[in-house]
Amino acid sequence: NAGVTQTPKFQVLKTGQSMTLQCAQDMNHEYMSWYRQDPGMGLRLIHYSVGAGITDQGEVPNGYNVSRSTTEDFPLRLLSAAPSQTSVYFCAASARIGSYNEQFFGPGTRLTVL
Amino acid sequence: SQQGEEDPQALSIQEGENATMNCSYKTSINNLQWYRQNSGRGLVHLILIRSNEREKHSGRLRVTLDTSKKSSSLLITASRAADTASYFCAPTTSGTYKYIFGTGTRLKVLA
């Protein structure tokens, strides 16, 4: 049981390039989400999903796309990378929607956009 | 969805001392969770307290919840250098799918 895994661990992009950050979980959790964390800051919610085929925007969705074709995977796509997207990205999953919903976080992807 | 606000922003104590950090929120909740983040790592769930509970313990952690004041506190007793981390609260409302985290309390425990 690996929990939540993220790939890659590190990535450097040039402005304008696109890429996909991968997130997978093996806990059969319905809820998954993506956050970004800038230096010295808290986490900001980018997109989230309450189940396969259902996604919605968080606080800072611009410049990012997501899809949820399976329960296990929730990839985050950067359409045209910008230096403002330099950040650490965390994916999380939780078992239940509602009153009891501990989130399990992945180890993060550190992205630098030049 | 709602965001918890942690206070203080930073806290520095000596090993062996107790550390207390607070969380305030704005609307009624079903539960409140505390998370820890070690430098460069993802958040790790520490403890959950339900809205009908006033106090909960887990090892050296003690969490209190005062729903009338819309606040919670996390106490770490006999702190260790390994407790050095950022701590975040997450107040949660039933039917809410968005988890909004604040900027956290950065705890530094000096050996």
Please report residues of B whose CB lies closer than 8 A to that of A111.
none
- Nearest chain B residue (CA) to A103: B45
Q: Closest Cα of chain A to B51: distance in Å?
A: 10
pLDDT (mean) for B21-34: 92
Asked if B31 and A100 come within 8 Å (Cβ–Cβ), the reply is yes
As given in the structure block, the two tokens for residue B73 are 């506190």
For the cut 80, the answer to whether the pLDDT of residue B22 exceeds it is: yes
**Mean predicted lDDT score pLDDT of chain A:** 92
Q: What is the pLDDT of residue B23?
A: 96
**Residue B67 predicted with pLDDT over 90:** yes
pLDDT < 50 stretches in chain A:
none
In chain B, which residues have their Cβ closer than 8 Å to the Cβ of A104?
Answer: 45
Best interface-test mutation with B: which of A44, A102, A110 has the largest number of B CBs within 10 A? A102
